[in-house]
Amino acid sequence: MAIFLFETPSLRRRFAPLTTNKPFVSLLSGGIPLLDKWNALNFDVGEVFIISESFLGTSFMPDYLEAGDFLIYCGRAPICATTIFYDCPTKPTSQGVGLLSKSTEEWPEREIMAVLLNKRIAVEAVREALFEDPDPNKALEKLLAPQQIQWSEAPRRNYYEYPKDLLEHLKADIDWTIELLKDEYELDLKALDDTNQVIGKHPVIIEKGAHISMSLLNTENGPIYLSRGVKVMEGCMLRGPLFLAGGTVLKMGRGSMAL
């Protein structure tokens, strides 16, 4: 069993220029790539692959999606593939099952969100339907017709529609990152000395190798995470949710973002 995440031209356009030279799932969410979260959540399910434009192809990609594999729109928030159909009235069967987004004023067309495949299908055929046809959604639906999919509809929730969504979900994403990395990072318990002031009840995570002094940290609205190699200079005001990646040097107040 494997999970194939597919992009669409519309998704890539909406997140341009962030996606000019990388797949959507390479974007950071709470300080780590979305793809890493997909891999972590599906560790016991199967390997995760990306179907994007050909010039963004990974070094290894199977030629076919096999029966029992998942084909999932990568614009949704990472999830364990085996739970994606739990809210559907139709459960997976030998004929396969598919999920369409409900039509709304903003998104009038029902779009394919996820499919549990019933038959083998070529990866290149999926790529061509998505990126070489003027109507990718209809082309993909036509390609999947022989699969005899039982379709269900679900509200369009927990999706990254526009770049602003990466910031709106930041608190939850950083909380998730902290939980994911809790057994991997090495903390510097002495990094927050008496020269710093912390306000709020959300956690402040400081890895060994990060430095901060004479600064104000406001965690009332979310956590603050400082990676190895971060340097926060004197007089800075940090407001969570905030994730500073390795090598960042902060010389003035920043908040509600991931750098």
Q: Are residues 49 and 128 in the same domain?
A: yes
For the ranges 8-17, 73-82, 99-108, the lowest mean pLDDT is seen at 99-108
Question: How many CA within 13 A on the CB side of residue 153?
Answer: 8
Given 166, 188, 212, which residue is the final one in a domain? 166
Do both 176 and 150 map to the same domain? Answer: no
Instruction: Tell whether 160 and 68 lie within a shared domain.
Output: yes
For residues 145 and 104, membership in a common domain is answered with: yes
Same-domain status, 162 and 179: no
Please give the tally of structural domains in the chain: 2
Name the range with the highest mean pLDDT among 102-111, 114-123, 192-201: 114-123
Phi, psi of 63 (to 5 degrees): -75, -25
Retrieve residue 146's tokens.
Answer: 């022989």
Q: How far apart are the first and last CA of the chain?
A: 35
> Using CA atoms, how far apart are residues 53 and 131, in angstroms rounded to an integer?
7
pLDDT, tens digit, 9 for 90 and up, residues 209-259: 899 989 999 999 999 999 889 999 999 999 999 999 888 999 875 555 555
pLDDT higher than threshold 70 for residue 76: yes
pLDDT of residue 13: 94
3-class DSSP assignment, residue 181 = helix
Residues 52 and 174 in one domain: no
CA-CA-CA-CA torsion sign (32, 115, 131, 2): positive
Residues 41 and 73 in one domain: yes
When mean pLDDT is compared across 96-100, 196-200, 216-220, the lowest value belongs to 96-100
Same domain, 196 and 117: no
* 157 and 226 fall within a common domain: no
For residues 200 and 237, membership in a common domain is answered with yes
| Domain-terminating residue out of 142, 166, 190 | 166
Task: Please enumerate in sequence order all residues whose Cβ is within 8 A of that of 135, keeping only pairs 6 or more positions apart, or say none.
Answer: none
Burial 121-158, CB ≥16 within 10 A → b, else e: bebeebbbbbbeeeebbebbbebbeebebbbbebebee
pTM of the model: 0.83
Instruction: Considering only CA atoms, give the Rg of the chain.
Output: 21
pLDDT digit string, tens, across residues 135-183: 999 999 999 999 988 888 888 888 999 999 988 888 888 888 888 777 7
Beta strands in 12-135, from DSSP E residues, in sequence order: 28-29, 32-33, 47-51, 64-65, 70-73, 97-101, 112-116, 121-122
The domain containing residue 182 runs over which residues?
Answer: 169-258
Residues 35 and 61 in one domain: yes
Cα dist. 127→48, 137, 168 in Å? Answer: 16, 12, 30
Residues 10 and 46 in one domain: yes
Domain harbouring 47, CATH code? 3.90.550
pLDDT in tens, 32-74: 899 999 999 999 999 999 999 988 866 688 999 999 999 999 9
Domain-terminating residue out of 131, 151, 166: 166
